[in-house]
Amino acid sequence: MNFNVRLRQLRQKNNLTQGELAKILGLKPTAISNYESERNEPSFDKLIALSKYFDVSCDYLLGITDSYLPVGGEVLDKDIVEFFDLYQQLSKANVEEIKSFAKYLLFKQETM
């Protein structure tokens, strides 16, 4: 997945407009639009700022890894990476629903 797609997903997941994100990062209002349409690329400083703001690794933003979270050198299982990829695309309401379902599955597992 490309940088522009990952940026759009993270921005939308956080319910931010392009202008709001640009303001947070101290950029011109059109900067995020230009990143998402692949007209421009962020500087290293802005890439790091995006990484810190969304709490993801630069490698994730750049599409080098599918691991959403910085994981201190650990290699994540392929299923976990796939789950994180799906999870990060969910709305906040659906995140809460999946958490409730996971708790139900754990309860069910423990009582069997």
Range of the domain at 77: 3-111
CA 5 to chain centroid? 10
Domain count, the chain: 1
pLDDT confidence of residue 67: 65
Q: What is the CATH number of the domain that holds 64?
A: 1.10.260.40
pLDDT > 80? residue 21: yes
Determine the number of helices (DSSP H) and then strands (DSSP E) in the chain: 7, 0
Task: Output the CA–CA distances (angstroms, integers) from residue 48 to 58, 60, 65, in the order listed.
Answer: 7, 11, 16
Q: What is the pTM of this model?
A: 0.63
Residues 12, 77, 86: CA angle, nearest 5 degrees: 25
Res. 25: pLDDT tops 90: yes
For residue range 26-74, list pLDDT tens digits in order.
999 899 999 999 999 999 999 999 999 988 888 889 988 776 655 555 5
pLDDT of residue 82: 79
- Tell me if 3 sits within 8 A of 62, measured CB to CB: yes
What mean pLDDT value characterizes the chain? 87
The per-residue pLDDT for 74 is: 53
pLDDT confidence of residue 69:
57
